[in-house]
Each structure stands twice: as structure tokens, then as C-alpha cells.
Amino acid sequence: MHSLLPSLEDLQLRSLPEVDSFPEGGLPSKLHTLCIVDCIKLKVCGLQALPSLSCFRFTGNDVESFDEETLPSALTTLKIKRLGNLKSLDYKGLHHLTSLRKLSIEGCPKLESISEQALPSSLLPPPLNTTWGFLSFLFL
């Protein structure tokens, strides 16, 4: 896809239950927005190689965790929704996202906590009474 659609900036993948990986050669490097919805087998990796990716929305997948090699540091918006098996967002998984301004996590019932050290300094501190099923941070 990288060489087939070199100017592509926005990509939405929706309801593709049999897709399990990105195409050989990866995603277009000029991609600004990536939205993945109900692609339950898709293994999300290699996004850190997308220097222009600023918005990532990920909904309806069986992923259990994100690591620092999954998400690119240029992200300004990260929305995670209906990841029923997501158990953790580790320190390195989010901390390197120094441009992050918006973080939304919703419908992740197995996610028990996010340590304050895991959050990038670009986000406001979490509210005191946070329910981890729904979490939203906004830079003001």
C-alpha cells in the first residue's frame, strides 16, 4: 500500500473480520489519520514508522496491550474504544507520546489502571474519581 497510495492521508478500515495484518510494505508514510473499527484479528504494529500520523482511533479488537513500538510519538489524538481484552497500557506504551493532546479510552472493562507515570506530560493529570471503563483527557 505504501507504494500504491503514496499520497493517502486518511484511512478507515471497518468491519474486516478476516484481515490480520497490514499489507507488505506497510502503510503510506503521509498518513495523518488511521481509524480501525471492528477488525478483530488485525495486529496493529509498525505505526511508529508513520511520521505524519497524528490521529489514531482503534475500536473493537482483541488486543491485550500496547507497547512503545506500537504507537508513533507524533500522535496528537488517541481514541481507544471497545477493546474488551485490553489489560494494560504500560509506562513506555504512552509516555513517549509527547505530542498527545487528546486521549479517550472507553469500553475497556479489563483495563484496571493506568499509572500516572504512564501518561505523557502533554496531558492534564487524571481526575481523582476516574472509572477506567471510560477515560478522557483533553489538553486545554
pLDDT tens digits, the chain, 140 residues: what are they? 445 688 999 999 999 999 988 877 788 889 999 999 999 888 888 888 899 999 999 999 888 877 666 788 889 999 999 988 888 776 566 778 888 888 888 888 888 767 666 677 777 555 544 444 455 554 43
Contact 29, 6 (CB under 8 A): yes
Give the β-pairing of 134-138 and 102-106: antiparallel
Output the CA torsion 132→41→49→109 (10° steps).
0
Contact 2, 29 (CB under 8 A): yes
**What residues does 104 pair with on adjacent strands?**
79, 136
Task: Give the model's pLDDT for residue 15.
Answer: 95
Distance from CA of residue 15 to its chain's centroid?
A: 17
**Torsion over CA: 123, 124, 126, 131 (sign):** negative
Task: Give the model's pLDDT for residue 43.
Answer: 84
